[in-house]
Amino acid sequence: MYDRQRKAPLYNSAYEKVLEARRGNRYLVDQSGNVDERSLEAIECALKAFDMGRQMDEGFADKLKSKLSRIEIKRTLRKFRDFMICSQTIAELKTDVQDLYGALSAAGDDGLSADPQHRFSVGATKIMNFLFPELFVIVDSNVQKAINCYIPDFDKWTLDSDRYWQVMMICAKELGEWKEQRGGLDRLLKLDSKPTTLTRIFDKCAFIIGKCGMSAMYRK
């Protein structure tokens, strides 16, 4: 269903370039917590392809680079290298995840949004996913609607650090149940076009549920 959406080819192509930018790793962050220029360029291009362009000004790349260069953020990015969405100890990341989301989504003169009065709420989730495609989930308005299946009226609330973490835990729970029921996650990965990740599959499924309803997941 997702891949039949009008803009799906654009999204899939942009995401493939993000995954290629990893150069065989699971992430775009080196062992010192740095994100190189090539990776930053891949993130910026992917954000524009994923409909974030109107919220990004000409100084976006410099602002993102500045945020990711902060000592406390680099320390956190190094830690995330050891985790995936299905890691058994993922719960210990809660505070770090919330802090990173808060930093990337914040409004203000040093915020990532072109309008300093607006938060970069959805864009922050996309940046986090592009940095760590195997760990973080993307949360847009359609995904928020899909989460209503778990948390009533979730789409009516402002996305913040706590609610972002809730979505991550729902993703981890869904994947854990699939793994337990089917003996692994390989079959799930094979259902999507390559290259892909488990968080990307969650995003696609949640997008369709939010946009078209739960029944859409069972249509051929």
- pLDDT digits 0-9 by tens, 188-209: 999 998 899 999 999 999 999 9
Confidence of residue 1 (pLDDT cuts 50, 70, 90): confident
Per-residue pLDDT, averaged over 4-18, amounts to 93
Residue 155: predicted pLDDT: 94
CA angle 118, 123, 129 (to 5 degrees): 155
Q: Is it the case that residue 213 has pLDDT exceeding 90?
A: no
Q: Is it the case that residue 175 has pLDDT exceeding 80?
A: yes
Q: How is the chain split into domains, by residue range?
A: 2-218
Give the SS3 label for residue 207.
helix
Give the SS3 label for residue 176.
helix
Per-residue pLDDT, averaged over 79-108, amounts to 98
pLDDT tens-place string over residues 43-57: 999 999 999 999 999
Residue 220: predicted pLDDT: 46
Q: Is it the case that residue 219 has pLDDT exceeding 80?
A: no
* Of 206 and 214, the one with more pLDDT: 206
Residue 203: predicted pLDDT: 96
- DSSP string computed for 113-143: SSSTTS--HHHHHHHHHHH-TTT-----HHH
Question: Among the residues of 147-197, which ranges form H helices?
Answer: 161-182, 186-190
Q: Is it the case that residue 158 has pLDDT exceeding 90?
A: yes
Q: Is it the case that residue 17 has pLDDT exceeding 60?
A: yes
| Number of residues that this document lists for the chain | 220
Per-residue pLDDT, averaged over 172-186, amounts to 95
Q: Is it the case that residue 88 has pLDDT exceeding 80?
A: yes
Residue 212: predicted pLDDT: 85
